[in-house]
Structure 1
Amino acid sequence: MIRTPLRPLARILRAREHGENPDEIEAENRRLRHEAIQHKARRRAEGRLVLMAGFFLLAFGTVGVRMGVLASSNPSEPRSQVLSAQIISQRADITDRRGRVLATNLLTHSVYAHPQQMVDPIGAAQGLARIFPDLSEEKLIRDFTGNRKFMWIKRKISPEQMQAVHDIGEPGLLFGPREMRIYPNGDLASHILGGSGFGNEGVSSAEVLGVAGVEKAFDNWLRDPSNDGAPLALSIDLSAQAAMEEVLASGMALMSAKGAAGILMEVETGEILAMASLPDFDPNNRPRPLLKGDASDSPLFNRAVQGQYELGSTFKIFPVAQALDLKLINPNSGINSKSPMKIGKYLINDFNNYGPQLSATDVIVKSSNVGTVRIAQMLGVERQKDFLQKLGLFEPTSIEMVEAPTGRPLVPPRWPAVTAATVAFGHGLAASPLHLAAAYATIANRGKRVEPTLIHGRKRPEGEQVLSPRAAELAISMLRQVVTRGTAKQAEVEGYEIAGKTGTADKPRPSGGYYKNKVISTFASMFPASDPKYVLIVTLDEPSVGSGGGESRTAGATAVPVAAELVRRLAPMIGLEAKTDESLPSIAARFQPHVEPGPHDEIKLVANQ
């Protein structure tokens, strides 16, 4: 701003020329300047008053509107909304398909100490050591008499322990409320549930986090307050799960097996009614993971989902079903079964010499390696790989467990002729029992792809048609004959029309090659064969049972009897009534007349020197 001078030179000179007093000019200019300053200050003050009046009007208006809203609304209980809270202690329950509780919360207490507030720290240490034998009295005395201001004593205590600590009468020992996760059924379904632990902790609450299984897979959902405490309903049936674990444990002991796995799955929905892996654990007291050695030696290892096994002759139905679908063969087609069969420097043998030719049906019934390889060669490597991939045998399963990605099948990086041949009869490609269950469910589901799930009642998109209904029907008929006159005759349970395939595969050595006396025996089945509703997989790790003065490790003598007992126990439990009439007379009649059953489906693959 340009200020007007008080004594402008031009006006002073003119005033002197006319005899006027120059001081009057200065006085007038000073008066005008003061008036301008006063006017500006007045405008500024008026603006501030208007601004303050507007602010007060807005504030009182907001309060008035809020009071009007509260006066016209229904009264309700106020809720605390603390966005900065770090610990969410509430966790939803987990139930089975019938609403029976598998995991829930229990209000308990923790005990902690303020050593600086203690009256008798040594007496307190002695009292705590008597209540909690795992605590060191000497260490407690050092901590209580040192410089520590806070320390945890126990993060979870029982009501009896709480009372005993209270009776010590030490003001420096304090209690904090918290929720703990409990599994009322103990080790039942332990691999499915997984377990939980504490995350962020405070003296008055603790964050419960899932550490494995569905507890970890659905951790965010289970902790989400917007679910209003709704439980997570799993597809498993608690009664069926208990029966499966009991029968598997008995079979495992009877067959002197290192481990066992079982899966019962609904064909149409893919829902798993029971899934067990033995040995198991109690999620209320979850053991520590192994840091070295074989992972399968740990009870935490889920053989059904994480196990990567060569599943042997259970794979033979896949190339046969594909060849039926492509109309390369029919059930009565003659297949060259002359043994041994040479591929490169390798010889592929059958356990017995089945003669120069078998029907396609008898290739499955007698479990001929040579006949299966001949059929796989009709398909070609690319078509064989494409079909196995469509069955889900190249990728991890979509099961809702954090362990699922660790169960990715071990697929050969290259597929020369000998690899394509061995994969056809279940060697060279390692997959989990759950992969096998899903693949067999796809066949049982008239060729539509089935994805396994642990969630009950969830709508899922319809699976891809990977096999024609006609080819699936014929494949089921072949599997039915494996039970009626083949390697799985002990699986016959009257009224339930079991169809299935045995598989006995030598276990690979970590250093290369295979053990001669260690196998994985598997029976993959579906029932009833006339209209399959369920798929059942039983796998035993390193079984051995006395037979005819010697030992037998084949699936027909180990996994099959266990599967039969499971069907006897589970079928009535899940509401499946036994039938008295043969379900597949019209289909079975189209096959060759029955022949004497062959021995078990052991394979031999030796180098031709």
Structure 2
Amino acid sequence: MIRTPLRPLARILRARETGENPDAIEAENRAQRHAAIQERARGSARTRLFFMSCAFALAFGTVGAKMGVLAASQPSEPRVQTTGAQIISQRADITDRHGRVLATNLLTHSLYAHPQQMVEPERAARELVRIFPDLEVERLDKDFTGKRTFVWIKKKISPEQMQAVHDIGEPGLLFGPREMRLYPNGHIAAHILGGATFGKEDVASAEVVGVAGVEKAFDHWLRDPANDGAPLMLSLDLTVQAAMEEVLGNGMKVMNAKGATGILMEIKTGEIVAMASLPDFDPNDRPRPLLKGDPSDSPLFNRAVQGQYELGSTFKIFPVAQAIDLKLVSPTTMINAKAPMKIGKYLINEFRGHNYGTLSVTDIIVKSSNVGTVRVAQLLGPDRQRDFLQKLGFFDPTPIEMSEAPTGKPLVPKRWPAVTSATVAFGHGLAASPLHLATAYATVANGGKRVMPTLIHDRSQRGGEQVLSPEAARIAVQMLRQVVVRGSGRSANVEGYEVAGKTGTADKPRPTGGYYGNKVVSTFASVFPASDPQYVLVLSLDEPSTIGAGGESRTAGATSAPVAAEVIRRVAPLLGLRPSTETQLPMVERPLPDRLKLVSN
């Protein structure tokens, strides 16, 4: 911009020639310059005011629009946001069949220290020991005053503990976000859930990994982001599980047993509705495994899946059902059950020295005759007997979805001579888990069609192999019903629920060989209702002993059977089963060759 001079020379000269005052010219130019400056200032002010008005209008418009959006949106609870990296592990929940939570996640924090940033390390050590009594003040003093630059103090702390550490006011004590696994029901279903712990971790994140049970078996699935947080739905019913664990725990105390296990399974689907092993543990505070001694002494030991027991007379229904299926015998076929029976150099006797003489096939099961069962097994022959037990699943681990399942492989004799065939027929010489037994009974009760156990709800199963004819399976269930009506299982009878089952008492083997004289495993395997089988319950007590009218007793009829009855009495209404008036169905007699009407030596 060219500025006009205040005293232009040409005008000054003309003014002097005409006698004008040159100072008037300067004053006029100065006034014009000031007027121009003021005009420019007014224009600049107007521009600033315009832009400020636009800015205020935009700001208030944005706030108003946001308020309108919030007013029109659905209300929701505010979420607390934390600084730092996102937790790596977003592990899916585990629920029961009704969607009730069995395992979930809890946002918490870890506690660590940067000793070089600490102002009063000795005081901080003393205050931390006051908050966490399991810490050692000497160890903390050494860590805080030494050369270490990083110290883990606690991998997870509660909000109350976090606030108490805050109150110490030590800048070198720092917190990291954590997602920990929480089991809100404590001990309930502990062995099935297993537990979880921290895997890879740093101060800003931690990976939660399963260490046992379904947590380990489905670890990859539970951590897979592709599932979009969908829960893993188990076949368990939390209410039924809690009821069975309560009854089983009380029964274990009353019967003075070392341990106990119970399995409740749907027959048609193979779904496990409840499965318990006692003693148990709290997966929120999982104990350390035993490093020596008997594994079954640890509360971590899952007796239902990992236990390998000779299951005694519960096996007797298998050779009998197979013989009926092959039309070798019928329920009324008379068998020579005279005791003792000699096989090679071995004698087979009856419990408490009984000698039943001649029994029908039905009464062999009702009276639990060892000799009578061996006679039936001899009709089958070792090869057919072995093949049938293999089809029932007694030679392989159960396919249950638990990390412990492979460890429960049955102990099967390598050779199968006549004496092995005889002892296995009445439940000795072959050791399997209670879950194996429950699966086999479910197969018999399922019209002879193979059942595969599962812990996943609504998992579609392919049709199982038909290992037994439906008619033979129906007759076998009727025989088991007679055991409860008038046999060794009378203490398991629950009015209105038509319980059918078989008792089994087996001496416990010594680790050094042979058997204990006063230690047994008592088992009651049952099906209910007998007229329309829907559920299988297998209940087993380890080293039970009870005092009755006849003195001390360890038999299944006096120990496991009454506990099983109480379990059925408690859980049947929870399962939606109504008590009914029983209708006795007649046994079906098949035409048999005359030579099989009486089987003897």
Q: What is the TM-score normalised by the length of structure 1? A: 0.82
Q: Contact between 1:315 and 1:426, CA under 8 Å: does it hold in 2?
A: yes
Deviation readout 1:397-433 (Å, 9 max, x if unpaired) = 0000000000000000111111110000000000000
The equivalences for 1:190-269 within 5 A come to 190-269=190-269
SS in 2 for 1:196: strand
Q: Does 1:439 align with 2:436?
A: no
Q: Give the deviation of 1:163 after TM superposition.
A: 0.5
- Give the corresponding residue for 1:286: 286
Which residue number in structure 2 is paired with residue 95 of structure 1?
95
Alignment of 1:201-600 (within 5 A): 201-351=201-351, 352-548=353-549, 550-580=551-581, 582-587=582-587
**Residues 410-419 or 211-220, more deviating:** 410-419
For 1:477 and 1:549, the matched residues in 2 are separated by 30
Query: Contact 1:309–1:431 at 8 Å: present in 2 too?
Result: yes
Mapped contact 1:264–1:274 kept (Cα < 8 A): yes
**Counterparts of 1:230 and 1:585 in 2: how far apart (Å)?**
47
Which residue of the partner structure matches residue 70 of structure 1?
Answer: none
> 1:246 aligns to what SS in structure 2?
helix
Pairwise CA distance, 1:293: 0.2
> CA 1:559–1:377 in 2, change beyond 3 Å: closer, same or farther?
same
Q: Give 2:260's aligned amino acid.
A: A
Find the residue that maps to 1:587 and give its secondary structure.
coil
Q: Which amino acid aligns with 1:528?
A: P
Confirm or deny: 8 A CA contact 1:521 1:540 kept in the other structure. yes
Q: Indicate if the aligned counterparts of 1:271 and 1:456 stay in contact, CA closer than 8 A.
A: yes
CA–CA distance in 2 between the matches of 1:262 and 1:177?
40
Following TM superposition, by how much is the alpha carbon of 1:214 offset from its aligned partner in structure 2, in angstroms? Answer: 0.2
CA apart distance, 1:120: 1.0
| Residue deviations 1:14-60 (CA, integer Å, cap 9, x gap) | xxxxxxxxxxxxxxxxxxxxxxxxxxxxxxxxxxxxxxxxxxxxxxx
1:588, CA displacement in angstroms? Answer: 8.1
Q: Secondary structure at the match of 2:161?
A: helix
Residues 110-155 of structure 1: CA deviation (Å, up to 9, x unaligned): 1100001111111111111111111111111111111000011101
**Displacement of 1:500:** 0.4
Asked whether 1:113 is paired with 2:113, we answer: yes
| Secondary structure at the counterpart of residue 586 of structure 1 | coil
**Which amino acid in 1 is paired with 2:471?**
R
CA distance in 2, matches of 1:228, 1:526: 40
1:169-199 per-position Cα deviation (integer Å, ceiling 9, x unaligned): 1111111111000100000000000000000
Q: Distance in 2 between matches of 1:586 and 1:139?
A: 77
Asked whether the equivalents of residues 332 and 589 of structure 2 are also in contact (C-alpha less than 8 Å), the reply is: no
Alignment partner, residue 44 of structure 1: none
Change (3 A) 1:371 1:86: farther
Deviation at 1:86, TM superposition (A): 12
Q: Is the 8 A contact 2:334 2:360 kept in 1?
A: yes
**Structure 1 contact 529–584 (Cα < 8 Å) conserved:** no
Where 1:376 maps in the other structure, the secondary structure is helix
Q: Deviations over 1:529-574 (max 9, x none)?
A: 0010000000000000002252000000000000100110000001
**Cα distance in 2, alignment partners of residues 585 and 176 from structure 1:** 68
How far apart, CA to CA, are the structure 2 residues paired with 1:113 and 1:417? 70
1:184 has 2:162 as partner? no
TM score, norm. by length of structure 2: 0.83
For the 8 Å contact 2:331–2:587, the answer to whether it is kept is no
Write the distance in 1 (CA, Å) between the matches of 2:358 and 2:88: 68
Which amino acid in structure 1 is aligned with residue 317 of structure 2?
A: I
After superposition, the C-alpha distances for 1:208-265 in whole angstroms (9 at most, x for unaligned) are 0000000000000000001000000000000000000000000000000000000000
1:460 to partner: Cα distance: 1.1
Matches of 1:549 and 1:311, distance apart in 2:
24
Aligned partners of 2:301, 2:270: CA distance in 1, in Å?
Answer: 23
Q: 1:300-335 CA deviation, whole Å, 9 max, x = no partner?
A: 000000000000000000000000000000011111
2:142 aligns with 142
343-352 or 205-214: bigger deviation = 343-352
C-alpha separation between the residues in 2 aligned to 1:262 and 1:200?
A: 36
Deviation at 1:354, TM superposition (A): 3.8
Cα distance in 1 for partners of 2:136, 2:126 equals: 9
1:355, CA displacement in angstroms? 3.6
SS at match of 2:230: coil
Mapped partners of 1:336, 1:219: distance in 2: 55
Q: Quick one: distance in 2 between partners of 1:394 and 1:589?
A: 32
Counterpart contact for 1:440–1:524, Cα < 8 Å? yes
Give 1:492 deviation, angstroms.
1.0
Percent identity between matched residues is: 76
Q: Contact between 1:87 and 1:201, CA under 8 Å: does it hold in 2?
A: no
Aligned residues of 2:475 and 2:588 also touching (Cα < 8 A): no
Deviation for aligned residue 1:353 = 3.4
CA deviation after TM superposition for structure 1 residue 88, in Å: 2.9
Partner of 1:420, secondary structure, is helix
Counterpart position of 1:122: 122
Unaligned 5+ runs, structure 2 = 1-84, 591-601
1:21-32 alignment, distance < 5 Å: none
The residue aligned with 2:7 is none
Paired residues of 2:86 and 2:205 also in contact (CA < 8 A): no
The 2-side partners of 1:178 and 1:213 are apart by 23
Find the aligned partners of 1:555 and 1:391 in 2 and give their Cα distance.
Answer: 23
Q: Distance in 1 between matches of 2:446 and 2:583?
A: 17
Kept in 2, the 8 Å contact 1:323–1:375? The answer is yes
Find the residue that maps to 2:587 and give its secondary structure. helix
Paired position in structure 1 for 2:74: none
In the alignment, the residues of structure 2 paired with residue 408 and residue 88 of structure 1 have an alpha-carbon distance, to the nearest angstrom, of 36
**CA-based RMSD:** 1.4
Deviation at 1:483, TM superposition (A): 0.5
Whole-Å Cα distance in 2 between the matches of residues 355 and 262 of structure 1? Answer: 32
Q: How far off is 1:87 after superposition?
A: 7.2
Cα distance, 1:583 vs. partner?
Answer: 3.0
What does residue range 75-90 of structure 1 map to in structure 2 within 5 Å?
A: 88-90=88-90
Aligned residues: 506
* Inter-partner Cα distance in structure 2 for 1:335 and 1:346: 20
Give the Cα–Cα distance (whole angstroms) in 2 for the partners of residues 86 and 324 of structure 1: 64
Q: 2: CA distance between counterparts of 1:589 and 1:562?
A: 34
Partner SS state of residue 527, structure 2: strand
Shift of 1:586: 2.9
Aligned to 2:5: none
Q: Contact conserved, 2:439 with 2:451, CA < 8 A, in 1?
A: yes
Q: Is the 8 A contact 1:529 1:583 kept in 2?
A: no
Q: State the alpha-carbon separation in 2 of the partners of residues 99 and 111 from structure 1.
A: 34
Equivalent-residue separation in structure 2 for 1:587 and 1:473 (angstroms): 9
One-letter amino acid matched to 1:493: V
